[in-house]
Amino acid sequence: MSVAYIPVQWNRFKYWYDAALALAVGLYLYVFVELGPGLLGQDPPVTPQIHNARAFGSCAFLMMTVILAIGPLARLDRRFLPVLYNRRHFGVMTAVVAVSHFLFVFGWYFAFTPLDSWEAILFSNRAYGSALGFPFEALGIVALISLLILAATSHDFWLSFLTPRIWKALHYLIYPAYAAVVGHVTLGVAQSEPLGFPILVWAGALLVAGLHVAAWAHERRRDVDSGAGSWEAVCRPAEIAEGRARVARLSTGERVAVFRHEGRLSAISNACAHQNGPLGEGRVIDGCVTCPWHGFQYRLEDGCAPAPFTEKLPTYRLRLRNGFVEVDPRANPPGTPVTPLEAGA
Amino acid sequence: MSARDEFFVGFFPVPPGLRAFLLAAGALLILVFGAVGWLAATAQRAPEAGGFRFDLGEQEVTGVLQLSPYPLLYVTEGNERLPAGRTMMLSGGGKFSPPQAEGMDGTLVRAKGVILKRGDLDMLQIGWGPEALTPLEGAAAIPAEVPLGRWRLTGEICDGKCAAGAMRPGRGLAHKACANLCVIGGVPAVFVSAAPVEGSEFLLLAGPDGGPLPEAALAHMAAIVTAEGEISRRGDLLVFRIDPASLAPI
């Protein structure tokens, strides 16, 4: 959390995170590139350039799979939230590994040709109407361009410049990119090589899909359905622990997080102004709601980030009726002060 | 217990209650990457034997150059490995036919290059520079082409260079674009037959007119297909004049 844009906001945790990631990627590439030929015992071996392309390509797929698993895992088990904290470094490293894969392919299969290499990669195989021999390279290019866009716009400058809504929508590109990679493998490797690697890819894709469904179902169960009306019920006051929130899904489709702090209740939008992180899963620290994703903070009484920060959230009015906390589903403009509701013990 | 004891905020120290979990998650991540790397590496099929025979050194032979359907050399004065009477397919460097061969159809030449070989499929990659393919005075006869009739074959259309081991693997659908580029560049196209024809597992491919493979056939590159056409023998090389309309995937 910073008011100035600096290239990378390092901290101790990020160093450890990136070191573990670099070790994992390094181990993958070492096992595949250095030990692989010996493990296979092939004589002659796969051409080194092709072997390297396979190593980096398959590593990039595994990295994308883990990246997409982190979000739902953090929803299902809060202990994974720290893994989500530095996910953008994971994404940038994935783009670097994917570019390496591309360079090995481009500099080998599509080099030393009478055609321009870009023309060669796009048009040397034009069987776009056939699954058999489909130009699977095009799907890889779609995924690579998506990863590069995501990496290039991962910095908070772009988040602020594009606005969180557009930035978030843009970063959903990871899903079509992932689907393109699955297609890239299915229409490429699976048509020429044994099914071992494609099975790994399909298992990874199933795991990602399964985790997303499980997280969605988990969230549906946890959310309070506030019903519909001019005021919507959330829960009894005692159901909200000190320093924590209950999240309610309003009839408007928005999610509201109702926090208890020092015995008083306040309601703000559940979506963090930074990356739409789930504020309702955060905590009140130093009197401010703290986002579980990246630690952005907001005052409960007006939804504003403490100075010198400028982020603002919509606030909601609360009242007590028949022993229930009720929320007015009409959100106040971001930064509107609302007097906290005395809720007692 | 304060809110910070169990709640992770990136710019604060990791809560003690989470440290063991995060260390275990990091270790698991590293182990999973190593294990998947091993699984993915060992899932690769062993490529077919074949490749450049640099160990045999540069070959230097004399012969008659033919440019249709693709560059060929009928060897008239050879050596132990490329004896007189062989008809060798030729390629240049990369995905090209030998550029020095242009305009030298029917010329007696001295050729220098490196052998590529997989099974009974071999090729001579002509070196760079004009000295790798030099015209000679005189002439030599080439054997007449012997027609062997119309055949229907099952097999794969490949570029002869990668199929001979310039790339491993050098066949299959994942290699289709590369094979197309080789053939577009003038590297001889071959048909790797599912069953030997007259004792040979591969045949040089030509269009119905005896020229290079027509573009329509490129759509079937690297797939297993059936194809009909006229087969003839040119020296010790079989030539399959493929009828593109007969090409059908299996």
A256 falls in which pLDDT band (50, 70, 90)? Answer: very high
Confidence at residue B1, expressed as pLDDT on a 0 to 100 scale: 42
Whether the link from the prior residue into A44 is cis, omega within 30° of 0, is yes
Tokens of A306: 């403490």
Range with the lowest mean pLDDT among A78-82, A214-218, A335-339, B85-89?
A: A78-82
**Residues of chain A positioned with their CB less than 8 A from the CB of B7:** 282-283, 285, 290, 292
Q: Which of the residues B4, B12, B44 would you substitute to probe the A interface, choosing the one with the greatest number of A C-beta atoms within 10 Å?
A: B44
> Which of the two residues, A3 and A300, has the higher pLDDT score?
A300
Search chain B and give the residue with CA nearest A73.
B25
**Residues of chain B positioned with their CB less than 8 A from the CB of A292:** 7-8
The arithmetic mean of pLDDT across residues A238-248, rounded, is 94
Instruction: Report helix, strand or coil for A245.
Output: strand
The listed range with the strongest mean pLDDT (A118-127, A191-200, B179-188) is B179-188
The arithmetic mean of pLDDT across residues A42-46, rounded, is 84
Residues of chain B under the 70 pLDDT cut: 1-5
| Non-local CB neighbours of A88 within 8 Å, separated by 6+ positions | A154, A155
The arithmetic mean of pLDDT across residues A247-273, rounded, is 93
Asked if A203 and A230 count as a contact pair (C-beta separation under 8 A), the reply is no
Strands B200-206 and B237-242: parallel
The arithmetic mean of pLDDT across residues A161-168, rounded, is 87
Q: CA-to-CA distance for A254 and A242, rounded, in angstroms? A: 23
**Residues of chain B positioned with their CB less than 8 A from the CB of A102:** none
Q: CA-to-CA distance for B229 and B243, rounded, in angstroms? A: 5
Across the interface, of A13, A109, A194, the residue whose CB is closest to B43 is: A194
Please list the residues that pair with B77 across neighbouring strands.
Answer: B62
Confidence at residue A4, expressed as pLDDT on a 0 to 100 scale: 63
CB spacing of A54 vs B7 below 8 angstroms: no
At A216-226, the pLDDT tens digits run 999 888 776 76
| Non-local CB neighbours of A203 within 8 Å, separated by 6+ positions | none
Has residue A302 got a pLDDT over 80?
Answer: yes
The arithmetic mean of pLDDT across residues A72-101, rounded, is 94
Average pLDDT of chain A, as a whole number: 92
Confidence at residue B180, expressed as pLDDT on a 0 to 100 scale: 95
CA distance A269 to chain B (A): 20
Q: Which residues of B154-175 are buried (b: 16+ CB within 10 A; e: fewer)?
A: ebbbbbbbbbbbbbbbbbbbbb
